[in-house]
Amino acid sequence: MATLSFSQSQPRRLLSLDILRGLTVAFMILVNSSGPGAWPQLHHAAWNGLTATDLVFPTFLFVVGISIVFATEARLRRGDARTGLLRHALRRAVLLVLLGIVVNTFPFVHLPYVRFYGVLQRIAVCYLAVALLYLWDRRIWTKGLLLVCLLAGYWMLLRWVPVPGAGLPGRNVPFLDQNQNIVAWLDRQLLPGHLYEDAPLHDARDPEGLLSDLPAIGTTLAGLLAGLWLLGSRSTQKKTMGLFAAAAASLAAGYLWSLWFPLNKKLWTSSYVLVAAGWSLAVLALVYWAIEQRGWGRKGLGKALAWPCLVFGSNAIVAYTLSELLDEAQGLIRFTDCGKQSTPLLFVFQHVFLPIPDPGWRTFLYALFYVCLCFLPVWLLYRKKIFVKL
């Protein structure tokens, strides 16, 4: 039976984890603010396939899984009761769901069309499921077994469960058809008219659908397993090598499985979980090697380069929520510019970025400007040592 040897000392905060979290949030804001004309890697794949943008959300869930390990162990060592940690996890999940609904409905609430799913809601579900699992059972082999069961079970659901009204995938309807798949069908039954991709009833679907929460929990479990590895008492060098080895194995397994079970972020396919986890592990290994093993982010130029990511990572949920609300809030400020209705951000885009001839650079530089705009209030919180913990 696989077990972990934990260090007897208090688990120290991983600077590399904070930097990875901040880097992920910054890139998330960047791609969300990239519009038409952006480079292909700054857009999600239309359906099957993978771009850099498709790796952002699973990387954040991966980081959530790691954070669960370190936060739980630190509180248990301080003497906090498990019942208290349970209440904290439930409260945090509820607040994330409510915050997600605020993001989806701001600034105007239209109850008949409210989208109840969303990014923050998925984070809440995955966080709660994995946090409760870890509080209940801290053995490593049970997490690995559950991860395998989730990925294999999800593949069987999508491959062998007939879609009502369409038939068996791969025989009566194309496998992973955009509209006729069991994930979209279930969402349409449970929340018709409340899905992200609002369309005629038989075409509506949601990229954060209910059934695809199962493999998303698998992504968070992969992060939990990485956290357990990092929490062990082995040397920093061995931890780095283990992360790189796990990244290579996960990427190889995921890309191989994708030959039969395509990579698909909107359905969060099992092969996508493995490939995304592989890239997350690779980036984590690189950052961990640079920060924890080489010490590059703790002084000099390395510290200066890591600092923006550290600031974003210190209030990651605040940064993401602010990026979503700011765009909607500034849209309420309307004025006339050159005889046309404009808003503050539209004014900046038209007068500063639109003259840039290349559409890719134009969109990228505007998105980078928006990231910097969102950075300012988070930086103020960081300076005042205010860290919002839901």
Q: Which residue stretches of the chain have pLDDT < 50? A: 1-11
Q: How far apart are the first and last CA of the chain?
A: 36
| pLDDT attached to residue 198 | 67
Rg of the chain over all Cα atoms, to the nearest angstrom: 22
Sign of the Cα torsion 178, 184, 185, 189 reads negative
The model carries a pTM of 0.92
| pLDDT attached to residue 205 | 77
Q: Quick one: tokens of 237?
A: 């060098």
What is the enclosing helix (H) or strand (E) of 234? Answer: none
Q: Are the C-beta atoms of 225 and 216 separated by less than 8 Å?
A: no
Distance CA 101, CA 118 (A): 8
How far from 243 is each of 115, 233, 289, CA to CA, in Å?
37, 15, 10
Distance CA 118, CA 96 (A): 10
pLDDT in tens, 250-270: 999 999 999 999 999 999 999
| pLDDT attached to residue 199 | 57
pLDDT in tens, 281-322: 999 999 999 998 888 877 777 778 889 999 999 999 999 999
Strand-pairing partners, residue 169, are: 173
Distance CA 274, CA 362 (A): 34
Residues listed for the chain = 390
